[in-house]
Amino acid sequence: MKKLLAIFGNTLLAALLCVPLSIAQAEDKTFSEAELDQMMAPIALYPDSLLAQILMACTYPADISEAVKWSKDNPKQEGDAAVKAVQNKSWDPSVMSLVAFPQVLSMMGEQPDWVQNVGDAFLASSEKVMDSVQKLRNKAKNEGNLETTEQQKVIVEQQPAETVIIIEPADPQVVYVPVYNTTVVYGTWWWPHYRPWYYYPPGYRFGGAVMRGIGFGVGIGITNALWGGCSWGRGRGDVNINVNKHNNININNNKINSNNRNTNWKHNSNNRRGVPYADKKSRKQYNNKRGGADQRKDYRGRDAQRDKARSTLDKRAVDPASGRKQLQGSGGDKARSSVNKANRDVNQGKFGNSSRQNHSSGKTRDTRKSGNYANQSHRSRDNAFRNAGNAKKSRQNINRGNSSNRSTRNRSSSHRSGGGRRSGGGGRRR
């Protein structure tokens, strides 16, 4: 019983100590202004429609991973035709739209951590993300590196509180993906410890335009592949959806049922596919909307440790909060002292002496021959655990067990010496 008490005591202490630790580790993942600027620098100068599509798609990193692989396996697929080719996939429509741009998926495939961080940041505070985009565009504009070209239009709108820069394709049906060095196009980078990365597509020729500012690859012809847009000015921080374009290319269950031409985009937590949310606000907002098996996948990694610990305690009818309270003060000292003493007894070989004596004399008893072995073992475990949280009761049980062991050894010694008679005479050998 000492051994069982020691095992259970260690498990209980470890579980109770693990719960507050895992909760502390599951704090919100937030991004500073420096991190947001670093994060958004590679895509801030993309056309608004493509930027909006990327922001939406990054909230589904598992789908992005599969779309990257599909694009590599189908290198000749692009534009609307590519989007129609993946309509049988279970991906979110925002991810499907990106297969129209193999260059963009290639970039995202090389930066999976960046993809998830962008999605997490956008869900946590889309307004801060969009503020960072506008700051970066103004920096590039002031450096003379963001101007209207044959590929795109740069529109500057003066609003009462700020200047908003909008980027649109020069031809709505032909989209060029910008190529630029983030360490050059924005001028001297203002966060020395958070320098941004940049990406050049495979096979892209480094021209003078890229060295000085922005270059462009081959234009992608589209009609409905891009159906997202950015909401600037009042209400900034949102992305919206052109319902007609969306429904013209997305089929089956992906269609939007709306009478409005435009509608605000809403994250679909059912398409998250078990990827945990990084901050408390997002977990509270989106986890409650998930159903069935998906809801059981909300917390992984550190959160899984917490849930596992709580589940273990629940099965033993132990409340973590009350358990931690019991471990405080003199009650906790007694519990830990009892567990430590049980461990010392086990390590010193005080457990099972009777069994070893019988074994040494060649009279080891096989208790499994008893028909009631399973029931006895089950009851023993129940009794051992029943008062594990009560140090005084546990010591009483241990003392009774020791007395029983001594009594058994005395009787065994008497049998071997040949006496074997009961006190009071008339006893026969057993």
Q: Specify the amino acid at residue 332.
A: G
**Pairing state of beta strands 178-180 and 174-175?**
unpaired
124 lies in the same domain as 239: yes
66 lies in the same domain as 5: no
38 lies in the same domain as 19: no
Residue 212 falls inside a structural domain: yes
Residue 356 falls inside a structural domain: no
In angstroms, rounded to a whole number, what is the distance separating the alpha carbons of residues 33 and 37? 6
262 lies in the same domain as 305: no
11 lies in the same domain as 46: no
200 lies in the same domain as 290: yes
CA-based R_g, the chain, Å: 34
pLDDT of residue 73: 97
173 lies in the same domain as 305: no
Nearest to 237 by CA among 130, 159, 162: 130
pLDDT of residue 101: 97
173 lies in the same domain as 291: yes
Residue 68 falls inside a structural domain: yes
pLDDT of residue 197: 94
Residue 428 falls inside a structural domain: no
Q: Specify the amino acid at residue 99.
A: V
pLDDT tens per residue across all 430 residues of the chain: 555 555 555 555 555 444 444 443 345 678 999 999 999 999 999 999 999 999 999 999 999 999 999 999 999 999 999 999 999 999 999 999 999 999 999 999 999 999 999 999 999 999 999 999 999 999 999 999 999 999 999 999 988 778 899 999 999 999 999 999 999 999 999 999 999 999 888 766 555 555 567 888 889 999 999 999 998 865 567 899 999 999 999 987 788 988 888 899 999 999 999 999 998 989 998 986 654 444 444 434 445 555 555 555 444 444 445 555 555 666 667 666 765 776 676 566 554 444 444 444 444 444 444 444 444 444 444 444 444 445 455 455 555 555 555 555 555 444 444 444 444 444 444 3
130 lies in the same domain as 17: no
254 lies in the same domain as 271: yes
Nearest to 12 by CA among 403, 327, 398: 327
CA dist list (Å): 129 to 156, 206, 280, 281, 377 = 19, 30, 18, 16, 61
Total-model pTM = 0.63
Beta-sheet strands, E only, within 52-162: 152-158
100 lies in the same domain as 195: yes
> Domain limits at 322?
1-26+299-348
Q: For the chain, what is the domain count?
A: 2
Beta-sheet strands, E only, within 259-309: 262-264
Our CA angle for 357, 359, 365, nearest 5°, is 110
